[in-house]
Amino acid sequence: MKKKTTIGDIAQQLGISKTTVSFVLNGKAREKHISESLEKKILDHITKVGYQPNQFAQGLRSGKTKIIGMMVEDISDPFFSSVARLIEENAYSRGYKIIYCSTENDTQKTKDLIQIYRTRQVDGYIIAPPPGIEKEINDLIDDKLPVVLFDRTIPGVETSNVVVNNYEAANDAILHFIQNGYRNIGMVTLNSDQVQMQERQEGYIDALKRIKAEPVIKKIIYHDDKENSIREIQSFLTENKQLDAVFFATNYIADNGLESIRNLKLIIPNDIGVIVFDDHNLYRLFTPSITAISQPIREISENSINLMLEMLEDDYDFSSVKSVLLKSSLIVRESSLAKG
């Protein structure tokens, strides 16, 4: 492997000092009074030989890595992997790379991962936080490390974040059920205090108040065995035969919920209407097709990376916290139309 060209080689080839080369490379030619002719000569030569600075030497001196750590709940979840993909694309085009990992919504694993990221000295953190890591996140913030939360926030943590209108979206979904003649609407959600789940639940509860109906909620455990979750949801549906519609609060729950419905041989949307929070391109192809709340994946990605890059600017004022609230929209399909 041929040895890489260093800044010293460049300097030597041009018969100047590496200091001068460094200044030019860092856009400080003007500030440091480098003549335009020399600047041009240096830039031309660098282009010619295809010089690429050594990231370690840069990082060693500057303390910057140009790496952003991204923590999603599960990289194999379609929602998170789509967001990750778009953030990656955007970040790369702006000179940053992303290191992903999956938290599995596990507090301890996430603490470990934050520790790993810290020792890897990532420049910033884009996180869909699991519960119970207020302290670790606040430690990051106290150390003036940029943190952007997305998908959910954490009470007691003040930092920039990008979330969607979970409450309204859930509320709209339930109102849509009501408009289509459903009256006994249940909800299956996670056994979780997390903000986004609470908001979805409240949206559901408040919508039911319009028809003076009582909420009927089943909470399942995130890490539960898949087969067990399915059984739980089946029992729930069996024990609440009055239900004519059900709202699944996540992707993951919906997979199991749809399987439960199938096992019980209930007919969608006649026996039971279905709406899922989080769309999936296969939902359109189900028989009947599945109504879903679609999150604005592109906007979530763009806003997250933009906030992060703002925070990475030298003169960023850490006391200013920006919250971006985006709209999710209900994609009406057959599963929520009784006459579908």
Partner DNA sequence: TAGCGTTCCTAAACAGGTTTACTAAAGGTT
Partner DNA sequence: AACCTTTAGTAAACCTGTTTAGGAACGCTA
Min dist CB 334 to its own copies, Å, is 11
Under the binding rule (CB under 8 A), the answer on residue 312 touching its own copies is no
What secondary structure does DSSP assign to 190-248, as a single string?
A: ES---HHHHHHHHHHHHHHHHTTPPPEEEEE-TTS-HHHHHHHHHHHHHHTTT--EEEE
- What six digits make up the tokens of 31? 């500030």
Quick one: 58 or 138, whose CB is closer to DNA? 58
User: Which helix H or strand E contains 326, and what residues bound it?
Assistant: strand 323-326
**Interface residue with its own copies, options 47, 119, 242, 319 (CB under 8 A):** 119
> Rounded to an integer, what distance in angstroms lies between the CA atom of residue 237 and that of residue 249?
15
* Residue 39: closest CA among 14, 76, 59: 14
Under the binding rule (CB under 7 A), the answer on residue 166 touching DNA is no
Taking CB under 8 A as the binding criterion, the range among 5-13, 48-56, 150-158, 168-176 that sits at the site for its own copies is 48-56
Under the binding rule (CB under 8 A), the answer on residue 92 touching its own copies is yes
Taking CB under 8 A as the binding criterion, the range among 79-87, 164-172, 177-185, 304-312 that sits at the site for its own copies is 79-87
* Beta strands in 36-109, from DSSP E residues, in sequence order: 67-72, 97-102
Min dist CB 211 to its own copies, Å, is 30
Q: Is the dihedral of CA 305, 306, 308, 313 positive or negative?
A: positive
Under the binding rule (CB under 8 A), the answer on residue 266 touching its own copies is no
105 φψ region: left (φ > 0), alpha (ψ -120 to 50), beta (else): left
Quick one: 32 or 327, whose CB is closer to DNA? 32
Q: Is the dihedral of CA 274, 280, 284, 285 positive or negative?
A: negative
Taking CB under 7 A as the binding criterion, the range among 18-26, 147-155, 157-165, 200-208 that sits at the site for DNA is 18-26
- What six digits make up the tokens of 122? 């990532």
CA of residue 135 relative to chain centroid, distance: 20
Quick one: 77 or 172, whose CB is closer to its own copies? 77
Q: How far is CA 199 from CA 73, 151, 191, 267, in A?
A: 18, 12, 13, 29
Under the binding rule (CB under 8 A), the answer on residue 255 touching its own copies is yes
For 108, counting Cβ atoms within 10 Å of its Cβ (0-12 exposed, 13-18 middle, 19+ buried), the class is: exposed
**Interface residue with DNA, options 1, 47, 60, 76 (CB under 7 A):** 60
Min dist CB 55 to DNA, Å, is 8
23 φψ region: left (φ > 0), alpha (ψ -120 to 50), beta (else): alpha
**Interface residue with its own copies, options 17, 19, 26, 54 (CB under 8 A):** 54
Min dist CB 187 to its own copies, Å, is 20
Min dist CB 48 to DNA, Å, is 16
Taking CB under 8 A as the binding criterion, the range among 95-103, 147-155, 175-183, 215-223 that sits at the site for its own copies is 95-103
Under the binding rule (CB under 8 A), the answer on residue 339 touching its own copies is no
> Rounded to an integer, what distance in angstroms lies between the CA atom of residue 310 and that of residue 162?
14
Contact partner at residue 108 from its own copies, DNA, none, CB < 5 to 8 Å by partner kind: none
Q: Which residues bind its own copies (CB under 8 A)?
A: 1, 52, 54-57, 59-60, 65, 74-76, 78, 81-82, 84-85, 88-89, 92, 97-102, 113, 116, 119-121, 142-145, 255, 258-259, 262, 280-282, 284-287
